[in-house]
Chain A
Amino acid sequence: MILTFFNHELKAFWRSKNTGKSIAVKVFLGLMMLYLLACVLFLSFVLDKLLGELFPKDDLVVAFCGILLVYFLYDMVMRLQLQELPTLKVQPYLHLPVKRNTIISYLALTALFSFFNLWPIVLFTPFIVKIILPENGASVASAIWLSIVGISVFNNYLALYIKRRANLNGWIFLAVGGLLSLIVCGDYIWHLYSIQKASNLVFGNLLKTPVLVMVPLLMAIAMFYINFFYLKDNLYLEELSSKKAEDRKSSTEIPLLGRFGHIGDLVANEIKLILRNKRPRSALVMGLFFLFYGLIFYTQKVYGEGMKVFVGMFMTGFFIISYGQFMYSWQAAHFDGILVSKVKFRDFLRAKYLLFAMVSTVAFVLTTPYAYFGWRTVMIHFVMYLWNIGINTTIVLWFANFNQKRIDLTKGASFNWEGVGASQLLLSFPLLICPYLIYLPFRYLLHSSDWGFGAMAIIAVVGIATRDFWIKQLERDFYNKRYKIAEGFRNK
C-alpha cells in the first residue's frame, strides 16, 4: 500500500504545475539543484581544511565536534521556516478502506524525503571518513555518523511536530521562535554558556564511549512516535490542513486612494491583494529587507558609484521587480471578471502605474537615511527612483503581456516556482542593462558621472511625461494577446 502511495507521490511531483511546465524551467531548476549540491559537496571535502583555519589552536576532531550542535541549531531554525508539512495530500485517501496506521506511516515516512535530511549527511560524511575513521577507528566513526543521522531525524520530526501544533495554535510557533532566539542570544550576546562547548561535551563523550550513540537514535525514534501518535489523534482535515484557524475578516478602506476615483479603487483592491495573500505579501516584505541592501555595498570602499546605480535601483524599485515580474498572474483567479467588467484596460494599467509609483515613493523616502553616506547617494537614489517609475514600470508591464501563467495566491513564496517562466528570466536583462547603457558612456567616454545621472533623470522624466503614450501602446499590445493570456490564466 505504501508503495502505491509513493507511486502517486512521484506522479504528483512530475505532473504538478509547480514543477514547471516548460522544459527550460525544469532544466534551470535541475541545474540550480546540482549547483547547490556541488557547493555542499565542495564544502564537505574542504571541511577539514576550513576547520583547521577557523580553529587553528584546536584539534580537528574537537573543532568538528564543536560545530555539530551549532549546525543543528541553525538546521532547526531553517526547518521551522522552510520545511513543508506533508499533509493535505492524504485527503483523497482518508475515506477509502485504507488503515489509518498505513496512512500515518506513509505521512511520517515521506517527511524523511526532505533536502534538510540530506545536507548533514552530505556535509559531514566526507570528514568522518577522512579524519575520524583513520584516527579513532570504525566503531567511533560509525557512532558519530549514526548520531548525526539520528539528530537530523530528531530535528526533522520535532520541526514537523511543532509546525503541526502551531497550525492549531499560532502562539506555539512564537514561543518556539522566542526560545530559539533566547538560546542563540544566550551564547553569542550574553555569553552565559557556549553551544560549542556543549557540543564538544556531547560528541567528546561519544568519541570515548561509542555506545552512547543509542541516545540520539532513541531520541529520533521517540520523536518519530510522538509525531506518529499526534497525527493519529488528529487525522482530521481541518487539523491537518495548513490553514490556520480563521480570524474574523474585516473590510478595510484606504481613504487616501478615494481621491483617485476608479483608479484609486483598483489600487486599493491591489493593495488588499498584496496584504491578504501570502506570496505577494512576501514580495513586499522582501522589498523592505532590500532597503538594507545599501549597507552591504556602501560600507565597502571597493564599490564605486557605478554600483550605486544598481543598488539604488534595487532599493527604490525592488517591489516593482519582485511583484511586477509576475504581473497580471496575481490576478489570474479573477481575470475573466476584470475583462468582462466595466474597467477599461487603460485604467487598469494606470492603476498599476499608480501603485508602483506609490510603493517606490515610500521606498525612496525610507532610503533617505543613506544621506549618512553623503547627499550624493540620496541624489543617485532619487535618479534611480525616477528611473524606476519612468522606465522600469513600463518595461515590467510590457513583459506582463507575455505572461500567461496562473499563480495560486494562497501558497507561500519559498521554493514556489509557480508562474515562473521564460518571461521572468528575460525581464532581468533590460532591467539590469538599460541604466548602464545610459550611464556608462557618459562616465567613461565623457568622464562625467554627473552628466550620466543628468541624462538618466531626463530620460526618466520624459518616460513619466509620456506615460499616456506608453499606456496606449501597452493596451494595444494587450488587446492582441488578451485571449491567450486569459486562457492561460484559466488553466489551473
Chain B
Amino acid sequence: MIEIKNLKKVYNGVTVVNIPALQIQKGESVGLVGNNGAGKTTLFRMILDLIRPQAGEVLSKGEVVAGGEAWKQYTAAYLDEGFLIDYLTPEEYLYFIGGLHQQSKAQVDEEMNALSDFFNGEIIKKGKYIRDLSKGNQCKVGVASCLLQNPELLMLDEPFANIDPSTQFRLKNILKDQNKNKGVTTIVSSHDLNHVTDVCDRILLMEKGVVIKDIATSSSTLAELEEYFGVGQTSGTVNYTAPGIDQEENH
C-alpha cells in the first residue's frame, strides 16, 4: 500500500525524519509511537504530500504521492483541526465531504446515524459551528469525515488525545472494525501505549526521525514499549539507550 524510500526531512539543520525504507502492506494496522519531536506528524504530512521532503519519496499503491491526485481517491486522514472547515456546522461539513465522494445527503445521514453512538449526541443538530466545538468533539467530526469517505487507507494523528474514555473505546472498536472487517489499512499515532497496542498489529517506534523499532504486536509488546518510554522509572538498573535497543532488535 505504502512504500517509503530514503525519505528525509531536515529543518534548520536538524533531521526530523530519516527513513531509508519502509513498507506498509494492504490491510495492515500500523501504530506509530514516539516522544514529542520524534517526527510522527512530519511523516504523516509527507505521506499526505503536505510538506516537501528533502530527499526520497513516498509511493502509494506504487504511485508517487507528491503531485499526484490518485491517492486522494482512497485516502482519508485527520491530523489536526486544520483539516476541518471550522465555520461550517458539522452537518454542513459532512455533507460537503460526502458530496465530494458522490454521496447524497440521505446517504450521509445514514452514515451519521450509524455513528450516533460515537457522536454521543454532541455533534449533530447542536446548532454550533465546528470552531465552537471542544477539541474532542472536533476530533469526532474529523474521524467521522474520514469514515464517510470509505477509505482504503485511514490515517489518524493522535486521535485518542482529546476524546473522553467512552469515545476512546468506541474509536478503538471502529478502528478494529475498519481494519478487520473492511480491510482498511490504518495508520494511527498515539501517546497512549495501551490503545495503540490494542488496536494495531504492527508498531513503529520513532526516535529523532528514525524508526528504531518495527515490531509485530504480541503480548509482550506493551511491556517492551513501557520499558522504552519509562526512562529510569521502571527499573533503575536498566538504562536504555539507542544502541541498547538496537541490540535488542537484533536479538
Contact = CB atoms under 8 A, between A and B. Distances in A.
A236 to B, nearest CB: 18
A355 to B, nearest CB: 15
A343 B100 contact: yes
Interface stretch (A45-53, A272-280, A285-293): A272-280
Given A269-B96, A339-B50, A342-B73, A333 B127 contact: no
Given A246-B132, A265-B96, A333 B51 contact: no
A341 B82 contact: no
A334 B85 contact: yes
B49 A333 contact: no
A interface secondary structure, majority: helix
B88 A335 contact: no
A337 B89 contact: no
A3 interface: no
A483 B65 CA distance: 13
A336 B100 contact: no
Interface stretch (A22-30, A88-96, A247-255, A466-474): A247-255
B83 A342 contact: no
B243 to A, nearest CB: 35
Interface residues of B, number: 36
Contacts of A340: 48-50, 72, 75, 77, 83
Nearest to A247: B127
A487 interface: yes
B77 A333 contact: no
Contacts of B89: 249-251
Nearest to B130: A334
B26 interface: no
Q: Which of B72, B91, B132 has the most CB of A within 10 A?
A: B72
A344 B80 CA distance: 21
A100 to B, nearest CB: 28
Interface residues of A, number: 32
B88 A269 contact: yes
B101 interface: yes
B128 interface: yes
A342 B98 CA distance: 11
Contact of A341 (B52, B72, B132): B72
Given A341-B97, A342-B100, A486 B50 contact: yes
B48 A334 contact: no
Interface in A183-241: none
Given A251-B91, A487-B51, A337 B84 contact: yes
Interface in A254-304: 262, 265, 269, 272-273, 276-277
A248 B96 contact: no
Interface in A319-366: 333-337, 339-344
Interface string B201-238: 00000000000000000000000000000000000000
B119 interface: no
A490 interface: yes
A276 B72 contact: no
A247 B129 CA distance: 11
B58 interface: no
Nearest to B83: A337
A409 interface: yes
A333 B97 CA distance: 17
Contacts of B49: 339-340
- The residue among A252, A262, A273, A333 with the most chain B CB atoms within 10 A of its own CB is A333
Contacts of A334: 82-86
B77 to A, nearest CB: 6
Nearest to B67: A479
B92 interface: yes
B99 interface: yes
Contacts of B196: none
The CB with the most chain B CB atoms within 10 A, among A265, A276, A337, A343, is that of: A337
Interface in B17-76: 45, 48-52, 67, 69, 72-73, 75
Contact of B86 (A246, A248, A250, A333): A333
Contacts of A342: 72-73, 100-101, 149
Given A265-B99, A333-B86, A250 B50 contact: no
A272 B82 contact: no
Interface in A401-419: 409-410
Contact of A333 (B82, B92, B128, B149): B82
Given A249-B127, A335-B82, A336-B50, A273 B87 contact: yes
A483 B51 contact: yes
Nearest to A486: B50
B64 to A, nearest CB: 13
Instruction: Count chain A CB atoms within 10 A of each CB in B45, B77, B79, B101 and give the residue with the most.
Output: B45
A277 B88 CA distance: 11
Given A262-B100, A483-B52, A277 B127 contact: no
Nearest to B86: A333
Nearest to A330: B87
A272 B131 CA distance: 13
A272 B88 contact: yes
A409 B87 CA distance: 9
B97 to A, nearest CB: 7
B92 A341 contact: no
A276 B51 contact: no
A171 to B, nearest CB: 21
Interface string B163-199: 0000000000000000000000000000000000000
A486 B100 contact: no
Nearest to A479: B67
B105 to A, nearest CB: 10
Nearest to B49: A339
A337 B75 CA distance: 12
B100 A269 contact: no
Interface string A471-491: 000000001000100110010
A340 B84 CA distance: 11
A343 to B, nearest CB: 6
A274 to B, nearest CB: 9
Contacts of A265: 96, 99-100
Interface centre among A247, A333, A341, by most B CB within 10 Å? A341
24 contacts: A246-B132, A249-B132, A251-B89, A252-B92, A265-B100, A269-B92, A269-B96, A272-B87, A272-B88, A273-B87, A277-B87, A333-B82, A334-B82, A334-B85, A336-B45, A336-B48, A336-B50, A336-B82, A337-B83, A337-B85, A339-B50, A343-B100, A410-B131, A479-B67
Given A337-B85, A339-B48, A340-B48, 12 more contacts: A251-B92, A272-B87, A333-B86, A334-B83, A335-B82, A337-B83, A337-B84, A339-B49, A340-B77, A341-B72, A342-B73, A487-B51
In the A-B complex, the 7 residue pairs with the closest CB atoms:
A248-B127, A337-B83, A483-B52, A336-B82, A276-B87, A342-B100, A334-B85
